[in-house]
Amino acid sequence: MIRTRGKSRGAVECTLASFVDAIEHAFYAEQIAKENGLLQKLDPRLKILAILPLIVIAALARRLSVIAALFVFALVLAMLSKVPLSTLAKRVWLGVLAFTGIISFPALFLTPGRVVFSLPLVGWIVTEQGLRAAAYLILRAETAATFSVLFVLCTPWNKVLKALRVLRVPLVLVVILGMTYRYIFLLLRNAHDMFTSRRSRMVGRLDGRQQRRAATASAGVLMSKTMQLSADVYLAMRSRGFQGEVYVLDDFRTAWFDWAILGLFTMVAAAALWWGR
């Protein structure tokens, strides 16, 4: 939540970079979803039923070896789904490792247990339990994040949302999620334009107080635009005959291949659940 930046990048540039990152991430996911890989071929509803248990079992497992095996399974899935491992490393593993690594590092010294070694100069004691605690946290977070990202990268977003109905998510929520996702990009573009126009008018550097005022005023403008937009969208929907009912076209078809893959995933999940008790 906190980012310390060098003086060379102000808040405006950082915010612009965040917007561009989000848009780039979404476009990249759409590209991967069009590949002809294993997960891309799978029916989205069965994909949810296949991957969600693996995420839960990665969180449930009480053996490091089982979590590591699930991680290897995720790697195999990535390769069969033509998701470059370098992409996973850059977009998932390094980020999770940096975040979770920093969090779990003190656990090496703070967790009581059998002493493994002590750091030479400071004399801090690393315990076996501390090492295992850090390994649990990092492996679990990496494995769950890899499965989640594989699911999202290999499924077009509109199909992800429709597939959520298999989890009994109410239809109206599916429609709201779909519209939210679409309007995120509109608001991102609006916000991006606001910040770009602000930057184009800036000469020299703004001090912290002025930057804060600019950022909060932009948030206020965006809030006003959001409310206006919601009223406009509502009127547009009403003018097209919207009376509160929502419909989603379900064009999913399952084949023997989908069920065979679901069976395979279920067997992996059951084995991991059994061995990871």
Partner 1 sequence: MHIPDGYLSPSTCAVLYGIAIPFWYGAFARVKRLLNTRLVPLLAVASAFCFVIMMFNVPLPGGTTGHAVGVGAAAVVLGPWASMLSVSIALLIQAIFFGDGGITTFGANCFNMAIAGSLVAHFVYRAIAGRSAIPSSRRVAAAALAGYAAINVSALLTACELGIQPLFFKDASGTPLYAPYALHIAIPAMMLGHLTFAGMAELFVSGGVVAYLQKTNPALLGERPSVTSEAQAHFPAGGGWKATRPLWIRVALLMLLTPIGILAAGTAWGEWGARDFSDPQMRQQITAASGNLAPPSAQPEGLARLSSLWAAPFPQYAPPFVRHPAFGYVMSAMFGTGLILGAFLLLAWITAGGRPSDASQASP
Site for partner 1 in 229-268 (CB under 8 A): 229-231, 233-234, 237-238, 242-244, 246
Instruction: Map the footprint of partner 1 across residues 143-182, applying CB under 8 A.
Output: 143-145, 148-149, 152, 157, 160, 172-173, 175-177, 179-182
Give the contact letters, 9-28, x = binds to partner 1 (CB under 8 A), - = no: -xx--xx--xx--x--xx--
Nearer to partner 1, 14 or 267 (CB): 14
As a whole number of angstroms, the distance between CA 205 and CA 183 comes to: 32
Instruction: Map the footprint of partner 1 across residues 45-104, applying CB under 8 A.
Output: 52, 55-56, 58-60, 62, 91-92, 95-96, 99-100, 103-104
Interface with partner 1 (CB under 8 A), residue from 38, 111, 198, 271: 111
CA distances from 3 to 11, 89, 109, 207 (A): 10, 22, 26, 18
- In 3D space, the residue among 273, 198, 231 whose CA is nearest the CA of residue 10 turns out to be 198
Give the contact letters, 125-144, x = binds to partner 1 (CB under 8 A), - = no: ---xxx-xxx-xx-xxx-xx
Interface with partner 1 (CB under 8 A), residue from 212, 255, 260, 277: 212
Check if the beta carbon of residue 269 is closer than 8 Å to that of residue 54.
yes
As a whole number of angstroms, the distance between CA 264 and CA 277 comes to: 20
Nearer to partner 1, 38 or 175 (CB): 175
Q: Which stretch binds partner 1 (CB under 8 A): 37-45, 68-76, 210-218, 265-273?
A: 210-218
Q: How far is the CB of 264 from partner 1 (least distance, A)?
A: 21
**Which pair of structure tokens corresponds to residue 148?**
């989640």
Half-sphere exposure of 213 (CA within 13 A, CB side): 5
How many residues belong to the site for partner 1 (CB under 8 A)?
98
Nearer to partner 1, 213 or 255 (CB): 213
Q: How far is the CB of 207 from partner 1 (least distance, A)?
A: 9
Check if the beta carbon of residue 82 is closer than 8 Å to that of residue 37.
yes
Residues in the chain: 277
Nearer to partner 1, 99 or 259 (CB): 99
Beta bridge partners of 118: 125
- In 3D space, the residue among 143, 158, 112, 150 whose CA is nearest the CA of residue 251 turns out to be 158
As a whole number of angstroms, the distance between CA 208 and CA 215 comes to: 10
Contacts of 181 (CB under 8 A, 6+ apart): 157, 161
Asked if 33 interacts with partner 1 (CB under 8 A), we say no
Q: How far is the CB of 4 from partner 1 (least distance, A)?
A: 5
Mapped onto helix, strand or coil, the DSSP state of residue 176 is helix
As a whole number of angstroms, the distance between CA 235 and CA 228 comes to: 11
Instruction: Map the footprint of partner 1 across residues 188-207, applying CB under 8 A.
Output: 188, 191
Asked if 2 interacts with partner 1 (CB under 8 A), we say yes
Nearer to partner 1, 164 or 268 (CB): 164
Asked if 34 interacts with partner 1 (CB under 8 A), we say no
